[in-house]
Amino acid sequence: MKIVVAGGDGFCGWPTALYLSQKGHEVTIVDNLVRREIDEELGSNSVTPILPLEERVQVWKEVSGKDIAVVIGDLTDYETVSHLFEDLQPEAFVHFAEHRSAPYSMIDREHAIENHRNNVEGTLNVLWAIKDHAPDCHLVKLGTMGEYGQPNIDIEEGWIEIEHKGRKDRLPFPKAPGSFYHLTKVHDSDNIMFACRVWGVRATDLNQGVVYGLETDETRLDPRLVNRFDYDAVFGTALNRFIIQAAIGHDLTVYGNGSQTRGYLDIQDTVRCIELACLNPADRGEFRVYNQFTEQFSVLELAQKVQKVARDLGMQAEIANTENPRVEKYDHYYNAVNTNLLDLGLEPHLLTDEHLAEVLKVAQQNTERVKRELVMPTVTWK
């Protein structure tokens, strides 16, 4: 297939581009490199040293013999997006190209507005370009499980059957996003659903859980292909922060009482889910939603898992509760459905001690790159 991976320089996009290329697909990465600029803005960095995008792609060519094309461009520039679709005529457009951090969207008014501008405008441009230039292209869009919030009912895959005053309908599942970032994903979902209904766009919205892990089979082929590893309190997930904190001898800081529960998946499953969605496209006019996660954990459970493995490796790892910078429920019900991707053939990689040990060892090898002042939160919701 001819596939564009937007945001292909990022944490999810880079291993996805390699995986799809290795599987024989014709891959083009489009990226504006803004994630690297945000590192400079925040004074942060990846724990793993990553090469410039052009060099990463060249290394992939050396290792695999396969080409990945690169377009440096911004999805908020419609001329760029229009030419991309007109020239390439992609069969699938994998859309990772959004600011992906809840804390980043909550820094201040300017960041909240820029988060909306980048995410919502970029997706709207993609929808118009599909309509204008590539109406058969399948949009595979990375949403988030965070769109749903923490409802006191089971979370269905995008749609729910409702009976009200004697009548029934199938409606979008209610949304209760937890940050301005998550709100942009809700806006995207609504815009995509509308485009499917009125223009006949075909789209799969992958409501992804929190992604963990570092390596895939492709990135393991050469150290220069390594994926980025975010650990700071703005872009680093809870699990990544715990791993880095253990590696540098810092307490594993659990927000609140740690009962907040979410869906999680390995980066190796992310890349497979993307291919499954591409190989099994939505019909014209169909807005399809898959919940993309494999396991559910509370924050405290993650900390306890890291603590156990860290101690097995000889590290001193203590768990400490700290004030929660976010506004979220504790001791809540959380049960989400995730059968669609499993039915398509996903075979999950689960969060094992062996996996945690692999990533902890990488963290230990790169502790000199950790900026310790960044592992505790400075952005608060209130």
- pTM score: 0.98
Q: What is the pLDDT of residues 94-125, one digit of tens each?
A: 999 999 999 999 999 999 999 999 999 999 99
pLDDT tier at 50 (50, 70, 90 boundaries)?
Answer: very high
Contact 130, 82 (CB under 8 A): no
Which helix (H) or strand (E) element contains residue 140? strand 138-144
Cα dist from 156 to 138, 148, 291, whole Å: 23, 9, 8
pLDDT tier at 16 (50, 70, 90 boundaries)?
Answer: very high
Q: What is the CA radius of gyration of the chain?
A: 20
Please give the Cα distance from 263 to 247 (Å, whole number): 25
The span from the first CA to the last CA of the chain, in angstroms, equals 46
Q: What is the pLDDT of residues 125-144, one digit of tens each?
A: 999 999 999 999 999 999 99
User: Which one of 144, 184, 216, 294 is the catalytic residue?
Assistant: 144
Cα dist from 336 to 176, 208, 294, 295, 328, whole Å: 14, 12, 10, 10, 17
| % of the chain surpassing 90 pLDDT | 100
80 a catalytic residue: no
At 63 the pLDDT is 98
At 315 the pLDDT is 96
Please give the Cα distance from 57 to 36 (Å, whole number): 16
At 211 the pLDDT is 97
Residue type, 55: E
Cα dist from 361 to 47, 244, 310, 327, 374, whole Å: 12, 10, 9, 33, 20
Strands 69-72 and 159-164: unpaired
Please give the Cα distance from 79 to 62 (Å, whole number): 33
pLDDT tier at 289 (50, 70, 90 boundaries)?
Answer: very high
Q: What is the pLDDT of residues 65-86, one digit of tens each?
A: 999 999 999 999 999 999 999 9
Average pLDDT, the chain: 98
User: Which one of 16, 185, 231, 264 is the catalytic residue?
Assistant: 185
Q: What is the pLDDT of residues 303-348, one digit of tens each?
A: 999 999 999 999 999 999 999 999 999 999 999 999 999 999 999 9
State the alpha helices, DSSP H only, in the chain: 13-22, 34-42, 53-64, 78-88, 102-105, 109-116, 122-133, 180-199, 238-248, 267-279, 299-312, 339-344, 353-365
At 245 the pLDDT is 98
371 a catalytic residue: no
Please give the Cα distance from 95 to 88 (Å, whole number): 15
Which of 324, 335, 179 is closest to 257 using CA atoms?
A: 324
pLDDT tier at 280 (50, 70, 90 boundaries)?
Answer: very high
Q: What is the pLDDT of residues 267-278, one digit of tens each?
A: 999 999 999 999
At 182 the pLDDT is 98
Q: What is the pLDDT of residues 159-203, one digit of tens each?
A: 999 999 999 999 999 999 999 999 999 999 999 999 999 999 999
* Number of helical (H) and strand (E) elements in the chain, helices listed first: 13, 14
At 376 the pLDDT is 97
334 a catalytic residue: no
Please give the Cα distance from 38 to 291 (Å, whole number): 28
User: Which one of 181, 231, 255, 290 is the catalytic residue?
Assistant: 181
